[in-house]
Structure 1
Amino acid sequence: MAGRSIPFSPASPDSAPFWQAAGEGRLLLRRCEACKRVHWYPRPICPHCGGATAWEEASGRGTIYSHSVMRRAPEPYAIAYVRLEEGTTMMTNIVDCDFDAIHVGQPVRVVFVPRDGAPPMPMFTPEAAA
């Protein structure tokens, strides 16, 4: 990931707690105060029932639901949908591993990839790579 630039838009008031926590090595999600469901992408209004949401710290663990390796890019990378232990699915990158060994159902954990001039980006690595 060292050579691939990941753009960053300035944090909004709604996303600032997420990026602050990322800088501290913590992954935050939003949980609805009404229906209790967790969702990704974090937003103040629940996409399931319209209720108000609150931040909560995630475990940072999940499993790969689906993935694809981009080999024709200048620097190959893997993207995936990761089903988090909390029940929601997020699109992310899989890093620090052999791309040929990635598979559906593989346990992964969050890692925070540094970026110049921006908070680190949460991505995932296989548990075996720990």
Structure 2
Amino acid sequence: MKLPEKTEGPWVTSFDPLTRQWTYTVTYNVSYAEDSPFFHALGHNKLLGSECQKCRYRYATPRTVCMYCGGPTDWFELPLEGRVHSWTTCHFSGEPYLSECPFHLGLIEFDRVDTLFMTRLVGIEQPRIGMPVRACFRRKKTWSVNDVYFVKKE
């Protein structure tokens, strides 16, 4: 059965849509579980990666199990210096960084590490691929990945 076609738009366009505003607060309790050592390290101005015990694949991010062979991983300390592998400029963001838009988000590569680390690039007017960068850490910790950002290595 074919529905009848209308030559006019939907009736809702004939008036202004109803909008409503309200404020609410939600408190979240988050457990980092097996990733907790990574976030504890951020609190001590260190970066931890994960290395597979079986195949030795090295991740620049927390991981408890290797995605290639399924082996368990161990923590290792990442260097605090790397290079920009790729980057983009964010013109919109979640609330914590909305006032900083536009800002640069980069993928950082480290020597002898198989994956990349995503982070903000701060104080860099025009990032470029291969640019040497170094990690900096917030003084006031939030116990999140936002505690670390990268700047141009001088």
The answer as to 2:131 corresponding to 1:111 is: no
TM-score normalized with structure 2 length: 0.68
Relative contact order higher in (CA < 8 Å, ≥ 6 apart): 1
Does the 8 A contact of 1:92 with 1:124 survive in 2? Answer: yes
Partner of 2:153: 127
The answer as to 2:57 corresponding to 1:33 is: no
What does the per-residue CA deviation read over 1:65-94, in whole Å, with 9 as the maximum and x for residues that have no partner?
A: 111122465422110111122322111111
Does the 8 A contact of 1:21 with 1:27 survive in 2? Answer: yes
Partner of 1:59: 79
Structure 2 stretches of 5 or more lacking a match? Answer: 1-27, 93-97
Mapped partners of 1:104, 1:31: distance in 2: 26
* Count of residue pairs brought into register by the alignment: 118
Mapped partners of 1:30, 1:9: distance in 2: 25
Task: Work out which of the two has the higher radius of gyration on C-alpha atoms and give 1 or 2.
Answer: 2
Partner of 1:50: 70
State the shift of 1:9 in Å. Answer: 7.1
User: Which structure carries more helix by proportion?
Assistant: 2
User: Which structure carries more strand by proportion?
Assistant: 1
